[in-house]
């Protein structure tokens, strides 16, 4: 007799471990993010504990992946990608890639100038590239300031203090690419 639920859940532990390692997170960090204990997370990753929905939901949220990706659910026949925007610090970020690790692509929408929370320059490990899809972008890199229009792009070392926002009264839409360190910096929970 076939066991479709068992087949779907068979590889969850390995996927959970791969997702955590790709993010560079420890079991303790993931425990803080999910409310699950480090021991439970370890047992899930090692396949010694069968995951429940109550455990998988916070794990999917923490890793930023759909629940279907965690359980390797069989395809439904629908080829569309259902993008879920993430709102952080006044920005709307729409993930365009869904794989773990490597370069991640996002559509980023910056609010009109003056509506962004603050212009705090930030630094983090990594490298970033962005392309202006719509509007005018104001880009501060170290002690230089640039204005980029539709079709213009910039790339930079994110260890240099930087800030990106709209240059005028309209929102600015960008296509942004960054690695794991940049993704964590942009999508980490906002704290004061």
Coil, strand or helix at 140:
strand
Contact 60, 34 (CB under 8 A): no
Contact 98, 81 (CB under 8 A): yes
Rounded Cα–Cα distance for residues 114 and 188 (Å): 23
What would the mean pLDDT of 79-101 be, rounded to a whole number?
Answer: 76
Where b means 16+ CB within 10 Å and e means fewer, 160-176 reads: eebebbbbeeeebbbeb
Whole-structure pTM value: 0.56
Contacts of 163 (CB under 8 A, 6+ apart): 119, 120, 121, 122, 139, 140
Q: For 116-152, how does the pLDDT look when each residue is reduced to its tens digit (9 = 90+)?
A: 656 788 888 888 899 999 999 999 999 999 999 999 9
pLDDT at 40 over 90: yes
Determine what percent of the chain is predicted with pLDDT higher than 90: 36
Rounded Cα–Cα distance for residues 130 and 58 (Å): 30
Tokens for 11, please give them.
Answer: 């590889």
Contacts of 88 (CB under 8 A, 6+ apart): 186, 187, 190
Q: For 49-80, how does the pLDDT look when each residue is reduced to its tens digit (9 = 90+)?
A: 888 888 988 888 888 777 777 777 666 666 66
Contacts of 141 (CB under 8 A, 6+ apart): 154, 156, 160, 161, 162
Rounded Cα–Cα distance for residues 26 and 28 (Å): 5
Q: Where are the alpha helices (DSSP H) in 51-154?
A: 53-63, 67-71
């Amino acid at each position: 007799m076939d066991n479709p639920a068992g087949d779907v859940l068979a590889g969850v532990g390995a996927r959970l471990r791969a997702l955590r390692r790709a993010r560079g997170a420890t079991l303790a960090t993931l425990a803080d993010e999910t409310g699950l204990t480090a021991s439970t997370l370890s047992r899930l990753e090692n396949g010694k504990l069968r995951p429940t929905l109550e455990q998988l939901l916070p794990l999917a949220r923490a890793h930023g992946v759909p629940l279907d990706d965690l359980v390797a659910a069989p395809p439904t026949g629908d080829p569309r990608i259902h993008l879920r925007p993430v709102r952080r610090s006044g920005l709307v970020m729409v993930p365009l890639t869904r794989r773990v690790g490597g370069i991640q692509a996002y559509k980023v929408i910056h609010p009109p100038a003056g509506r962004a929370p603050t212009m705090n320059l930030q630094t983090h490990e990594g490298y970033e590239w962005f392309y202006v899809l719509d509007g005018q972008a104001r880009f501060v890199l170290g002690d230089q300031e640039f204005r980029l229009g539709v079709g213009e792009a910039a790339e930079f070392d994110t260890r240099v203090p930087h800030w990106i926002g709209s240059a005028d009264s309209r929102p600015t839409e960008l296509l942004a690419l960054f690695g794991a360190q940049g993704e964590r910096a942009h999508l980490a929970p906002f704290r004061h």
